[in-house]
Structure 1
Amino acid sequence: MVSVYEYLSHSAVIPAALASANYQNTIVYYNDGKTVMGTIGTVNRQDLTYQQLPVNLKNAVLAAEDKNFFTEGGISPTGILRSAYDDLMHGGTSGGSTITQEFVRNYYTGIGVQQTASRKIKEIFIAQKLAGEKSKPWILTSYLNLIYLGKNSYGVAAAAQTYFGLPVNKLSIAQDAVLASIIQQPSNYPQLQYRDNLKARWTAVLADMVKDNFITQAQADAATFPKMLTDTTSSTVTDAVGVLANNSDPWAPYILKVVENELTGVDHVTQQQLETGGMRVVTTISRPMEVAMYKAVNTNIAAIKATPGAKYPSYMRVGAELQNPKNGEILATYPGPGQKMTPKKCAEWNCDVDMSIYAREQVGSSFKPYVLSAAVAGGMNASTSILNAAPALCVPPDYDALKLSQDMKYYSTSACSQNNLSAYFPVQNDGGEVIGDPKKLWGVSPQTALAQSSNTAFTDLAHRVTTSKVIQMAQAYGVNISAFTQGGSNLDQMVGQVGLALGTASLTVNEQATMLATIADNGVYHTAHVVKYWQLPDGPQQKPITQTRGVLDPTNAANNAALASQVQYAMSMTTVNGTGTSAAVGLGNRPIIAKTGTTTNSHAGFFIGAIPQYSLVVGMFTESQAANSPESLAVLTGGGFGGYWPAKIWNSFAQAEFASLPVQNFENPTFSGDKWIQIGKLPKKKSTCTFTIHGHKITIPLTGKNKNKKCNQVTPTPTPTPTLTQPQNCHGHKRNCFPTPTPTTSSTFGFPTQTSSPTATPINSTTGTPTSTATSSPTNTTTGPGNGGGNGATATANGVRAGLAVGGVLTVLLPGSLLWTTLSRRRRRRGKGTAE
């Protein structure tokens, strides 16, 4: 009998390991390389070395499962005899296995787990063979890395994260004992309904640890049963791959999915490597900055809810992203409210969609930097150029890029076609807002046009640059320009549509943050990424695949930086005296380049802003973007504009994270390029003489018979002075304004129909420089110049139709407006396709 036993023992062959026995999931860390964000993989398992296993954890398992492990030869004869007796007396099969036997059963092929005598015998002999070939530390380590501990957790490292959100070296004695207790019934003990059973087993394990001199009685008495993370009744949205956040960080599930997509889609990691290869991935994400990001968003959501009359409905969405402009690292995001909610609530809030990386929304006027960049790269001087910020324009098509736009006196979507300009695009400033001076034909600098967010100026500029160049610039900045059906912004379908300048394409928060980061880094694009480095077990660190390139001039780094400095210059006044001043509150004189954006019906609002160290974009949008959707940011109060709540969120984060940073300046602008003049030629200032007759001042132009005369050679002739009356109620404003004029016959487009002769004949062609001529009339009706259309005016003794009277006889303001300089902005709803 003994010889048979010896023969079987010596002839036993250790089988090959099960392939699945070595499967490990990928562990994902924050940028400190120490704090675990979560795991990715079909098997939740991570291997540890013997030295990495805490002594108390090893002792707890030995006390619970096999206290003679270090002295036995792979099997326990007494255990086998006890098991055989129980089987004989009570029927069936029972335990009696050692740790070595349990490891053999789960690690090697051909053993199985069937409760049969033949399998048990095979297990015994292989366990003995293994004990003779492998060291005890190797067997114990392999066992603790492999053992199933419930909740899809294999090994103590995975279980420590699953139940306590901690690495094994941070576990308490009480937590060590819980893991050791679960080994007995891993499918049942973690469930709440078996909590009393688990506690009883836990108490017994602590007692055995005292009995075996692993801990003192005082340590056992001080232990309290720990809280288990799996006790929560909320569900976490996961996918088939097994993306699992090992802590309560609400952003973690979203970022883990981005990590998975980046590794497999860009860095050529296979899905099998990711799910079973035991990779270690360190991300670019800063946990402290994530905490600050969520605090900024949640603080403002609370402020909205506390605002009288405001609502924060479940259709509201927020996305935000912080990037390092120097390398494209994404440091923090606000992808959504988190996924620890019931499936019903998750569906209501669309909690499983990443609003910062993957959601595509119209971005409104925050698209205008792409137009500006294309113009600067195309040769426009951002300092000297003059853009057309008229309240309303008809903008020529792309193929007439050098034609000037035509002013509209009154905005109408049909005004262009009614004036035989059917190929032109009608556009107005937000609510017809006044930006610029009609005496200067509404001409403003690119910086003013951007700060005040002139829709007309940038739509006209897009036509001058051509939409193809704008789209190419967006692509250079990293925007996916492909069609919606291919997951892109749809920009490649918008060639020839000058309205794209107003943000009608659908971009992501990430694309906007990358564009802004590129401008902040002097025109150098860096691929945005969340993976800092990754490595296979015992392998070297692998850096992510990224690109770095100049955007405004890819062939000349110095010129690229110089061109970018002009873009920075043009964007530098948005938070100073533009549409985004609320973003700069509490930040002193810190330089910020920025832009606001709001879409039609306030379906979306954006604030994009950067300092030299960081690029931060905040977007708020509704679930439905349909034109007839009643969903609107307006219910939040603040008009639903990007310069309000999105800017406030930006400011909350900036005050927390930027205020303590050293103040850095953007590059001093280096201006180059040509002076682009997008307005008609200004009329020369006429020489005049002013006289006082009967207490009234009159001005006489030195023209006609007075030409070439000096004032002391001119004989003044009294001229009736039109009388303007001030209405009692001037639209509720405590400012000067003028009554509604007596109607005169005028075209919709803004070219006045002359009521008397002599006349002023506007030259409507805008191929060259628009001009007009006018002759003074002794009557009280004066007709003004066209100057490219829409700047003509008809003044009468009863009031003013629009614009300026000719010849300096009478200068008045448009109805409802007093100053031709920039006023404090009263944002109003705009027409289709317009943006703040």
Structure 2
Amino acid sequence: MSYSSYGSEPTGRPDPAGDAGGPARPGRRRRSPQGDAPAGGHPASHSAPAYDQGSGRRAAGPPDAEWNTAQLPPPARPGSAPGPRPAPADPRARAGDPRRGPVDPRTRRSEAAFEDTQSMGQVAGARPAAPGPRREPPGAETVVSRESRDPGPRRSRRAPGGPGRPGGPAGPGEPAGPGRPGPDGRGPGDGPPGGRRARRSSDGEPPRRGWTRFLPNWKIVMAAFVVIAAGVFGMIAVAYANTPLPDERSAKETATAQGSTIYYANGDVMARLGTERYTLDSLKDDVPAVVQDAVIGAENDTFREDSGISLSGMVRSLWSTASGQQVQGASTITQQMARGFFDNLNNERSITRKVKEIFIAVKLDKEWEKDKVLLYYLNIVPFGRNTYGIEAAARSFFGKKTKDLTAAQAAYLAGRIQQPGNFDQQEANKNFAGTQERFNYVIRQMAKTWPDKYADLPNTAKFPKIRAQKVRNNLSGFRGYMLDAALAELKDRLPASVLKSGGYRVYTTFDKKLMQAAADAVHNNTRPLSPEIHTSLAAVDPRNGRVIAFYGGKNYLGKHPDQFNDAFAARKQAASAFKPYVLAAWLHAGYSLNSFVPGNETVPKVLEGTTKVTNEHSMPAAITVTSATAHSINTAYASMAYQVGLDKVKEVAAGAGIPRDELDRDEAEHKYLMSIGTALVTPLEQAGGYSIFANQGKHYKTHVVLRVEDANKNVVIPEDKSFTQVISPSESADAVEALRAVVKEGTGRGAALPDRPVAGKTGTNNQNKEAWFVGFAPQLSTAVGMYREQCVNKKGKILTGREICPNGYIGKEISLGNIQGATYPSQVWKAFMAAAMNGKPVEQFPEPPRGGEPENIVPSPTPTPTPTETDPGFPDGNGLPDGNGFPDDNSGNPDNNGDPNNNGGGCLPWDDSCNNNNNGGGGGGDPFNQGNAPADPATPTPTPSAPGGRRSTPAPSR
């Protein structure tokens, strides 16, 4: 900016007449390229020479050398040390001037203005001029500001306060500039120090300081809000337009829908879900006004006026829920009816469900009359006791029709709509407090909403007498377990809420006669045992995966109801009943049954991450795989798993239906102990898993639903017939050959059937906490498992002799005593299979090809193998030479030859069904120790089982 706006520019040199600054040629204000002027201004002793700068063309300046010399700073005084440049002196302070005092070095506003003027002139090409005195206005005092600070070597071009400009000091020889007051002024003007001029933003707003400068501009925020709101409104409009509305026909079908029926495999009725409906056709003729008012007062008192939704109701619901006094829901009657029409809305629990419900309610309110909405609502709403609709509820609770209900009875039924299931449970326990409270609420609502009709009702209405419920015996005995199993399988495709009103026909795989046979086999063979002992059974058809029968508990609804299905949910250690999966992996890897495996120690001796694996009795150094299977040799099977790899074992077991996550968890915790049975399984999984041996290597997923038909008998859910080929038919046949040896001469001899071939495997873990027998015929695979629990509370108090633990107690698993896989489990299995196979054709297993390569994984010298099932019997009658249980080699137990306690008629060393009357005491299960000696220190110590949950903590098996 030119100084011409504020007067002529000072020359910067003394006036010869009166030391007054003469006018200077107007020019641009620029800084000298040499930087700021030296401290103290330009004293006469070394100031630049003055040249005439009058009007007209500028006179020629001195030569460049003279000009450059003139720009040099004054020489330092001798002896002075270098240091910071002193503050410039006030050029206006003249000798003898009484108004001037000593110049404060911290105040140099006038000097800065002078230096700026000189710099501007030099940049413009003019010669520097000597400073001239400042003209003071008449009567004005010169004030030196003590608040200003040294501006530093450079000054910002944006900073106000230049000479003659607003907010700055007066230029040399000119009156003071019109300063704007402010704390950042650079020099004295004719008023308070000038302020620093604020920089404005592009939109004209003053700049923001501090944290506010990080906030977005309000205009941007408003624009973004408008865009988002428009998008949301558009999405809502599209969703509303695409929301379907049920027509009157579908509404009628929904209102008249029937409950569903569950059938046995032969077509006999097992159970029914829901109830038969009584549909009302006319609100005016069939539903009296008192019933309508009771329902409206209880559920939606603005029903006649609202538009299908109630914003006030939503707010009220939030408040009452937060305060713990919720009495009326947020959904209107129209919304509840919309939810009843669409099953998917009834099952969803999300904001999307609520939005759909609102859209349908608004559409219904626009297109249907209020009376029609209320009529259909009263025909579909549940009231408890498996009743749907007001007419069914009136008959169930009061034994009368809807049109005959009193005001008190109508209020009771209307109050039940809020929580019908909870009220059922409370009243079943003779607790009527909940329904009494709701009854009183409905009465008050009726009096408040229609005072002209019901003002006296709170004083006259009494809680009505309720008719006793007629209990349908759907769930007693084992029917409850079957129904639970079917509903669990269908829950992802047809939830129970849909089945109760959909009129479906569900055909299950259960054989009614075999279900009873399973219960009889358990009861008849475990009668003398403690109630603490749980026995479960599952039977699967290996040709299709159908669950034919099971036993999961004594009574679903008995004196001590037990709704935990042991057959489907009790996950326990498989013990040696897991070994057939290792056998299948061995054969699948290309090894044969004739391979030699170690009988008394693992190969290698130390298995990584695994405690030492031993047998409870001595065995030969090398035995065949068939013999190792028949006599359940731990060292052999751990070595076989090491040879093929645990991944291969898990692959076979998972293909047979054992959950992969359980297998992975077991491997991580127990490594190679998994091969001898630390994995957790259920009886159903074991029965389905052994189907790969009974059905030539194929595994069908176990299931309990044959098909589901709708009300018109159309199949809506067919049977799943897919299968997996886990091992080849030849490998399966070889595995069956080894498992048949278990029943012929091994630990499972007690399970043999006299009229047909069977195969299987026993299982007993350490401490006898779980005992199994899993076996099969070509037509049926069955698993039997047993475990024992005592009831313990948090204080350690034990309740004995209880099958079901009361509240406050949990089940703690304890030893079964002398029960092993070859005793009670084998007996139960045999009794059931005899009944199940009665009258069935006798089928033979395929001939074993005995394929694969014989492998000897026992370190040399190669020992003589033990006899197999093809070897001739022994003359002493116990199947063993010399009466000692072992072939004559150094690995046997020769000291037992003349043992008077054995007498040649004791337990076989591999028979875990017998322990020489030791009964688990003293000798830790050693069949040659009758309690007179300590247990073998080499026997692995089991991991203790965790209490509760009917789920074992894994422990090494035998």
TM-score by length of 2: 0.46
Aligned pair partner of 2:614 in 413, 416, 428: 428
1:647-658 superposed matches below 5 A: 647-658=826-837
SS in 2 for 1:525: strand
C-alpha distance 108-368 of structure 1, shift in aligned 2 (>3 A): farther
Secondary structure of the residue aligned to 2:660 is: coil
Q: Which residue of 737, 743, 746 corresponds with 1:575? A: 743
Partner of 1:252: 479
Matches within 5 A, 1:120-159: 151-154=385-388
**How do 1:401-416 and structure 2 match up within 5 A?**
404-406=603-605
Is residue 2:816 matched to residue 1:634? yes
Q: Distance in 2 between matches of 1:20 and 1:320?
A: 41
In structure 2, distance between residues paired with 1:625 and 1:500:
29
SS of the aligned residue for 1:321 comes to strand
Match of 2:595 among 356, 368, 385: 385
Distance in 1, Cα, partners of 2:750 & 2:470:
43
* Cα shift readout 1:79-115 (whole Å, capped 9, x = no counterpart): xxxxxxxxxxxxxxxxxx99x625999999999999x
Q: Deviations 1:111-140 (Å, cap 9, x if unpaired)?
A: 9999x9x99xxxxxxxxxxxxxxxxxxxxx
**Structure 1 counterpart of 2:618, which letter?**
V
**Residue 507 of structure 2 corresponds to residue 282 of structure 1:** yes
Q: Is the 8 A contact 2:699 2:726 kept in 1?
A: no
Distance 1:422 1:320, change over 3 A: closer
Residue number in structure 2 paired with 1:534: 708
Q: CA deviation at 1:274?
A: 3.7
**What does residue 784 of structure 2 align with?**
618
Q: Match for residue 566 of structure 2?
A: 355
CA contact (8 A) 1:803 1:814 kept: no
Is residue 609–residue 671 contact of structure 2 (8 Å, CA) maintained in 1? no
Task: Give, in angstroms, the shift of residue 276 of structure 1.
Answer: 3.8
Distance 1:512 1:16 in 2: 46
Tell me what 1:333 maps to.
550
Aligned to 1:294: 519
Q: Which AA in structure 1 matches 2:574?
A: V
* Greater radius of gyration (CA): 2
Tell me how far apart the structure 1 counterparts of residues 677 and 738 of structure 2 sit (CA, whole Å). Answer: 18
**Per-residue Cα deviation, 1:763-782 (whole angstroms, up to 9, x for no partner):** xxxxxxxxxxxxxxxxxxxx
- For residue 101 of structure 1, what is the aligned residue in structure 2? 286
Superposition pairs of residues 377-526 of structure 1, within 5 angstroms: 377-382=588-593, 384-390=594-600, 393=601, 395=602, 404-406=603-605, 425-429=611-615, 431=616, 433-435=617-619, 438=620, 441=621, 443-482=622-661, 488=662, 490-491=664-665, 493-494=667-668, 497-526=671-700
Gaps of 5+ in 1: 1-12, 50-68, 76-96, 120-141, 164-176, 195-227, 233-244, 306-311, 396-403, 407-415, 483-487, 554-559, 686-734, 739-790, 794-801, 805-810
CA contact (8 A) 1:603 1:625 kept: no
> What SS does the aligned partner of 2:844 have?
coil
Distance 1:182 1:655 in 2: 59
Call closer, same or farther: CA 1:37–1:180 in 2, change over 3 Å: same
Tell whether the 8 Å contact from 1:525 to 1:547 is kept in structure 2 after alignment.
Answer: no
Task: Label 1:495 to 1:536 Cα distance change in 2 as closer, same or farther (>3 A).
Answer: same
* Alpha-carbon shift at residue 385 of structure 1 (Å): 1.5
CA distance in 2, matches of 1:14, 1:463: 69
TM-score (norm 1): 0.52
- The CA distance in 2 between the partners of 1:370 and 1:288, in whole Å, is 31
Equivalent residue of 1:325, what SS? coil
1:30–1:37 contact (8 Å) kept in structure 2: no
- The 3-state SS of whatever aligns with 1:654 is helix
Aligned CA distance change for structure 1 residues 423 and 17 (closer, same or farther; 3 Å): closer
Deviations along 1:546-578, one digit per CA (max 9) or x if unpaired, are 36344344xxxxxx1111111111111222211
Q: Which residue identity lines up with residue 604 of structure 2 in the other structure?
A: S
Structure 1 residue 27, shift from structure 2 partner: 2.5
Q: What is the aligned partner in structure 1 of residue 261 from structure 2?
A: 27
1:604 counterpart residue number: 770
Matches of 2:836 and 2:468 in 1, distance apart? 31
Q: 1:464 to 1:371 in 2, by over 3 A?
A: same
CA contact (8 A) 2:787 2:813 kept: no
Counterpart of 2:464 in structure 1 is none
Cα distance change of structure 1 residues 319 and 803 upon mapping to structure 2, 3 Å threshold: closer
The one-letter code sitting in structure 2 at the alignment partner of 1:597 is G
Could you say if the C-alpha distance between residues 573 and 603 of structure 1 is closer, same or farther in structure 2, counting changes exceeding 3 Å? same
Q: Distance in 1 between matches of 2:820 and 2:812?
A: 16
3-state SS of paired residue (2:569): coil
C-alpha separation in 2, matches of 1:110 and 1:15: 25
The code of the aligned residue for 1:257 comes to D
Deviation at 1:603, TM superposition (A): 1.3
Equivalents in 2 of 1:157, 1:564: separation in Å? 61
Q: CA deviation at 1:229?
A: 11
* 8 Å CA contact retained: 2:383, 2:389: yes
Q: Secondary structure of the residue that 1:294 maps to in structure 2? A: helix
Whole-Å Cα distance in 2 between the matches of residues 659 and 598 of structure 1? 29
1:520-543: CA deviation from partner (whole Å, max 9, x where unpaired): 111111010000001232262134
The answer to whether the 8 Å contact 1:284/1:331 transfers is yes
Aligned length: 513
Q: What is the percent sequence identity of the aligned residues?
A: 24
**How many angstroms apart in 1 are the aligned matches of 2:557 and 2:573?**
29
1:280 deviates by 1.9
| Number of the residue aligned with 1:835 | 957
The residue number in structure 1 matching 2:756 is 590
- For 2:278 and 2:558, how far apart are their aligned partners in 1? 33
Q: State the Cα deviation string for residues 372-416 of structure 1 (Å, max 9, x = none).
A: 01101111112x2122222xx2x3xxxxxxxx434xxxxxxxxx5
Spell out the pairing of 1:212-223 with structure 2 (5 A cutoff).
none
- The CA deviation at 1:450 is 1.2
Displacement of 1:356: 1.2
Tell me, yes or no, if structure 1 residue 680 matches structure 2 residue 856: no
Q: CA deviation at 1:590?
A: 1.5
1:489 CA drift (Å): 5.1
SS of 1:322's partner is strand
Given the superposition, is the C-alpha separation of residues 378 and 19 from structure 1 closer, same or farther in structure 2, using an over 3 Å criterion?
same
CA shift, 1:667, in A, is 0.9
> Residue 517 of structure 2: SS of its match in structure 1?
helix
CA RMSD of aligned residues (A): 5.1
Distance 1:330 1:15 in 2: 40
C-alpha distance after superposition, 1:19-66 (max 9, x if no partner): 973554432221123313342xxxx234699xxxxxxxxxxxxxxxxx
Q: 1:834 Cα deviation (Å)?
A: 3.6
Secondary structure, counterpart of 1:572 in structure 2? helix
Evaluate the alpha carbon distance shift between residue 158 and residue 834 of structure 1 in structure 2; reply closer, same or farther with a 3 A threshold. Answer: farther
Contact residue 376 and residue 563 of structure 1 kept, 8 A = yes
Q: Separation in 2 of the partners of 1:102 and 1:491?
A: 61
Unmatched 5+ stretches in structure 2: 1-246, 305-375, 414-423, 431-466, 797-810, 865-881, 916-924, 927-938, 943-954
Secondary structure at the residue paired with 2:612?
Answer: strand
Could you tell me how far apart the structure 1 residues matched to 2:740 and 2:291 are? 65
1:818/1:372 Cα in 2 relative to 1: closer, same or farther (>3 Å)?
farther
User: What SS does structure 2 have at the residue aligned with 1:573?
Assistant: helix
Residues 277, 387 of structure 2: 8 Å contact kept: no
Structure 2 counterpart of 1:29, which letter?
Answer: Y
- 1:215-256 per-position Cα deviation (integer Å, ceiling 9, x unaligned): xxxxxxxxxxxxx99678xxxxxxxxxxxx843542222222
Q: For CA contacts below 8 A with separation 6 or more, give which structure has more relative contact order.
A: 1
